[in-house]
A and B are shown apart, each in its own frame.
Chain A
Amino acid sequence: MNMNERFEAYIASDAKIEPKDWMPDAYRKTLIRQISQHAHSEVVGMLPEGNWVTRAPSLLRKSILLAKVQDEAGHGLYLYSACETLGVSRDDLIADLHSGKAKYSSIFNYPATSWADMGTVGWLVDGAAIMNQVPLCKTSYGPYARAMVRVCKEESFHQRQGFQILLALCNGTEAQKAMAQESLNRWWWPALMMFGPRDEDSQHTEESMRWRIKRFTNDELRQKFVDMTVPQAELLGLTIPDPDLKWNEERGHYDFGEIDWNEFHHVIRGNGPCNRERLEARRKAHEEGAWVRDAASAYAKKHARTDASSTHAA
């Protein structure tokens, strides 16, 4: 058995790969791409919500939103750390995000224009993310799986707080309920797009399934998400903007309409409503924070010198 065959057999036995183990280059590359995209999504995901921190309707809502944004930063860090175990540097990863070379989840290229969006983002966007992420707790690469366990533990608060925002709006005035419905109308389809292209159009699915990086296909997860979400929308009294949505007794699943794949590709190619704005905000934050990083480095260097000289003196 050569190295490749041994690796495939090892993966097929559901064993985990750790950083120093031998792995095929393609496995390493796929992981770097997926984990870094995931990390970038967490980081860019802070932007639409950061926009609402100062305008949240109460001190409690502000605190909750801040805690959520702080979690996203932490998730980005867990994932960058996992990615670095594959031999890439943090600086290169960040440079790839800022140059537009690396991708992040397209959902964050849509604007959050109303307070209800903070509810919908938590409910649908974090809900879809959880659907994607829970199976990743069992992914074949150890550091990625461990990072995902932490992420999933924290993510469930995100979804629940979002649903609760919508619950409050839907039990409020007519105007508040209308705001919730308008928000759902805008986010429903982009949320379904979060699961990626159809299985037959997904270039990475087959290999990623064999390597047990992915544990379910895009369409499987999308169906699961729809089945889970429809009853929740009913509970809120909101209407999902899809005339083709109906329960299919025979399949035991909801049937739903076709995604606008043109829009999907349009946003991925960088032409969504906020692509440019998001990257500019990221670059600006990074550049304007440079002096803080430099100061911390200078402080550490100075103290390392003082410590060394005092040791010599003693």
Chain B
Amino acid sequence: MSERSTWPLWEVFVRSRQGLSHRHVGSLHAPDAEMAIQNARDVYTRRQEGVSIWVLPASSITASSPADKDCLFEPANDKVYRHPTFYDLPDEVKNM
């Protein structure tokens, strides 16, 4: 009997070119990291989309919970002074 169902899920990250960071592009199942890289290469970089691939087991990712969205991210809403546009300066001020 096939053990296919035990293949773990891998998240795939691709660096599109030197100078940019790796970006999440999708996921796939593979028996090990080496096969995950091979499969990721076939699935996600057939049209010169990348120069480097990361794969990591989806099970190793710890995600914040949607239920915590407010308490994690709400506090930033009332701190507009963190943005440069908050400060009204005279037009004469150049290069700032």
Contacts and interface: CB of A to CB of B under 8 A. Distances in A.
Interface residues of A, number: 29
B31 A300 contact: yes
Contact of A293 (B2, B27, B46, B66): B2
Contacts of B59: none
Interface string B1-41: 01111110100000000000000001111111001000000
B63 interface: yes
B48 interface: no
Nearest to B33: A300
Q: SS class of chain B's interface: helix, strand, loop or mixed?
A: mixed
B66 A21 contact: yes
B44 to A, nearest CB: 8
Contacts of B51: none
B65 interface: yes
Contacts, number: 54
Given A20-B66, A77-B43, A91 B28 contact: no
Contacts of B27: 81
Q: SS class of chain A's interface: helix, strand, loop or mixed?
A: helix
B46 A70 contact: yes
B26 A78 contact: yes
Contacts of A22: 66
Contacts of A147: 26
A241 B5 CA distance: 47
B2 A294 contact: yes
24 contacts: A21-B66, A67-B46, A74-B43, A74-B46, A77-B28, A78-B26, A78-B43, A150-B26, A154-B47, A290-B2, A293-B2, A293-B4, A294-B3, A296-B30, A296-B31, A296-B35, A297-B2, A297-B3, A297-B4, A297-B31, A299-B31, A300-B35, A301-B31, A304-B32
Interface of B: 2-7, 9, 26-32, 35, 42-43, 46-47, 63, 65-66
